[in-house]
């Protein structure tokens, strides 16, 4: 198992879904973890940090008390729908970029003085960046922009490392709850080569790899149960 003993990690979006699974796995690997988000409901052992990616004016004050960071993970973003292009709401599209893309950029800028010389940053995109679909254009462009950001930052911030994790359909709370959610995810899973969707705990191990593999930078790491095949 990957070890992060003695390391300090910030997980943005660490209070729910994929980010919370990353927080739990990172704590289990021995790190001190700051879980950032709009909720104070964090995993046991994590340090809560109030951050809203839609409010960059507050980033300076929010990060001022942070210690030197060895790793930063971004898993937060605005929830956007999947309309056909002709029906896409530009206000919703802009919100997606303001939070997940421009908010991430602004927070990385604010965090630069806090990053260790060999720190890593892990961004989160999604399978739609390279899987065209009807109704996928909003999410696809946002995720593709995130992957381009990761590759360019890997060049500019070196020797600090920057990688991107690209999940497929993942069984988080964004799909709702109860039997209807389970049936929907089971139906999606049945269409995939592995016969199931991705679990947050599966993805957490990929984030750990991105944090601990010292020779990896500028990479996009897919975990999508075969959706790209």
Taking all residues of the chain, what is their mean pLDDT, rounded to a whole number?
94
User: Taking the model in full, what pTM does it have?
Assistant: 0.94
- Which architecture characterizes domain 8-223 according to CATH? 3-Layer(aba) Sandwich (3.40)
Say what the pLDDT of residue 175 is: 83
Nearest CA to 188 out of 208, 165, 171 is that of 171
Which residues 6+ apart lie within 8 Å of 140 measured at CB?
128, 129, 131, 132, 133
* Whole-number Cα distances in Å, 191 to 129, 133, 186, 197: 19, 15, 9, 9
Note the pLDDT tens digit of each residue in 180-189: 888 899 999 9
Query: Does 98 score more than 70 pLDDT?
Result: yes
**All structural domains of the chain with their residue ranges:** 8-223
Q: Which residue has better confidence, 161 or 181?
A: 161
Query: Does 176 score more than 90 pLDDT?
Result: no
């Amino acid at each position: 198992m990957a070890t992060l003993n003695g390391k300090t990690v910030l997980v943005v979006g660490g209070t729910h879904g994929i980010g919370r699974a990353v927080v739990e796995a990172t704590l289990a690997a021995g790190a001190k973890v700051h879980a950032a988000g709009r909720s104070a409901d964090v995993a046991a052992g994590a340090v809560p940090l109030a951050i809203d990616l839609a409010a960059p004016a507050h980033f300076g004050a929010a990060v001022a008390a942070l210690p030197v960071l060895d790793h930063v993970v971004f898993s937060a973003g605005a929830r956007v729908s999947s309309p056909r292009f002709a029906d896409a709401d530009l206000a919703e599209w802009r919100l997606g970029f303001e939070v997940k893309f421009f908010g991430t950029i602004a927070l990385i800028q604010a965090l630069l003085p806090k990053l260790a010389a060999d720190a890593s940053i892990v961004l989160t995109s999604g399978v739609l960046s390279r899987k065209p679909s009807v109704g996928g254009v909003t999410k696809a462009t946002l995720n593709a922009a995130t992957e381009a950001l990761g590759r360019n930052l890997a060049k500019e911030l070196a020797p600090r490392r920057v990688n991107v994790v690209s999940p497929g359909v993942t069984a988080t709370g964004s799909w709702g709850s109860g039997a209807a959610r389970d049936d929907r995810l089971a139906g999606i899973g049945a269409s995939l080569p592995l016969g199931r969707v991705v679990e947050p705990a599966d993805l957490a191990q990929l984030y750990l790899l991105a944090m601990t593999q010292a020779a990896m930078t500028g990479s996009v790491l897919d975990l999508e149960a075969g959706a790209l095949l």
